[in-house]
Amino acid sequence: MSSDTGGFQALQEGDPPVVGGYRLVARLGAGGMGRVYLSHTQGGRPVAIKVVRPELAEDPAFRRRFRREVEAARRVMGAYTAELVDADTDGVPPWLATLYVPGPSLTAAVARRGPLPVSAVLWLMAGTAEALQAIHGVGVVHRDLKPSNVLLAADGPRVIDFGISVAADLSSHTATGSTVGTPHFMAPEQATAGDISPATDVFALAQTAAFAALGEPLYGDGMAPVVLYRIVHEQPDLSRLPEALRPLFARCLAADPRERATPAEIVRWCRERLEADADPGTGPALWSEVTGPEATVPGPARTPAGPSTAAATLSLGPARRQTPGGRRALFAAVTAGALVVTGATWFAGDRLGLGERAAGASDPTTGPAKSPRSTASGARTSPDAGPSARASQPLPGASPSGAVLLSPVWLDRTNSLSLDEPMLRSDLKGDIRLVCESGVDCTLQSDTGRFVQLFNGKAASLDVCRHLLGGAVGADYRTWSLAAAEAGTQLCVGDDSGGVGALAIQVKQTALPQEAFLQLGMTVWSKTA
């Protein structure tokens, strides 16, 4: 789901015309938690309405997490945070509404223009740190601060997505030995499933700002376990950062949380240097260049004259704007990409340094997940292997049910899977592909297949998958967002010719779209079974 503006899509058949009294105008996107629509308040302010998927709404664990998200959002108010407008966590299905404002994510802005100049990084850090002050002030720790969760509005950054944040005093949120967040932007104590505190967000803020300054993660690219090992055991290389920023980054990235700068100190440090810089090219004009042109937001939907419940058509007229003194007043908001839980859950096992296992989840049909280090002998071959060696790596194993088992299977943006032979291809001609676009959530996509996720710990079997796939009709099921998927997630997959299979996610890395991959366990049942 994109955080960029301008991605408005007309409502389609099956979309509700009204949610909780809000008349829908357009689609904004979709993710693992649900579909997001554009609507407006009675006063004309644009809002983003997130409607939870029905199958998720039936999961008690998800309902609890969704209530936590809403409660956290209700408690946080600040100039640089997202504002919750309305919600119904007990609705059928549940939904929430937040004020919407055009503005790219930091991820999208960096992808468009490259690294930000020092003054823009200072603006970014000051505004984001002020947002953390508001968040921490009500006892909430964000836990997943990263470039895609920072929007660049015309008047400053906005911190968004409290989907996996939790009140600091709710220590029972995560299970023992598990961590919540996005691997490339975690703090050391978070990566080792240690104690989480506001200082954890400060470490993530420095990593996020470093991404803005460098155009890449501070701790480098690569598989999540490798990056996590660096975060826990190595000192960051600050020599690549502009010299003016290094003292602040050194404090924010201290291994000991007690030695890190506070958000108030970060705000003061950045403001002092911004005020000392009298260059007119470092003020609002520079920030406007960073954020890019503002997209035109469709106006409110017309209320039908009759009792018809047909979906409203997409209006291309401009939304109501307030322009006191000629300056646009933009409101703190959450865009489509902000409304999805985008952090992956990574299991730290017994806290043994994170170098041996990336995930403690296992495929119920194929046994424990192997470490990424072991995949050289599995589905992913070495870079030196020729095309014939990489064309098909079925690694079949016989099961009592006659199913073909493959594990581990490495799926990235260069290869694909199929329910027919060859099941693993070194090209994109297979029917199951991993698609990641800049500023957009990674998805599994298929031309002739359908995806359905299993919940409540239900194990994949031929009968279960046939039943679920039988009710999966429509284009929505041909693209499945991985935003809310984590290690242990299981998906049933079926194609139009009657093929049925199951995918079990063992390792997921989608924080860096250009390096995204999945390590999977794959089960394919015979069409005659």
Exposure string of 296-331, with b = 16+ CB inside 10 Å and e = fewer, is ebbbbbeeeeeeeeebbebbeeebeeeeeeeeeebb
Single out the residue of 487, 483, 484 nearest to residue 520, CA to CA: 487
Per-residue pLDDT of the chain (529 residues), as tens digits, is 333 444 688 898 888 999 999 999 999 876 556 788 999 988 888 888 889 888 788 888 878 878 887 887 788 878 788 688 899 998 888 998 887 867 888 988 898 889 999 999 999 999 999 999 988 988 888 888 999 888 888 888 988 776 544 443 333 333 333 445 577 888 999 888 888 899 999 999 999 999 999 999 999 877 778 888 899 999 999 999 999 999 999 999 999 999 999 999 999 999 998 887 655 555 667 778 888 877 778 888 876 654 443 333 333 333 333 333 332 232 233 333 333 333 333 333 332 222 222 223 333 333 333 333 233 333 333 333 333 333 333 333 334 456 888 878 889 989 999 998 889 999 999 999 999 875 567 889 998 889 988 876 677 889 888 888 887 766 678 888 887 777 788 899 998 888 999 999 988 877 777 778 898 989 998 776 6
Q: Which residue spans within 327-388 are E strands per DSSP?
A: 345-347, 362-363, 367-368
Q: Is 384 part of the annotated catalytic residue set?
A: no
pLDDT at 283: 62
Which neighbouring-strand residues pair with 81? 159
CB within 8 Å of 425: residues ≥ 6 apart: 391, 392, 415, 416, 417, 418
CA distance 520 to 108: 28
Tokens of 174: 């995560």
pLDDT at 167: 41
pLDDT at 529: 65
CB within 8 Å of 69: residues ≥ 6 apart: 96, 162, 163, 164, 165
Q: Is the full-model pTM beyond 0.75?
A: no
pLDDT at 444: 92
Question: Among the options 144, 161, 431, 495, which is catalytic?
Answer: 144
CA distance 13 to 312: 11
CB within 8 Å of 193: residues ≥ 6 apart: 174, 176, 177, 178, 179, 348, 351
pLDDT at 115: 94
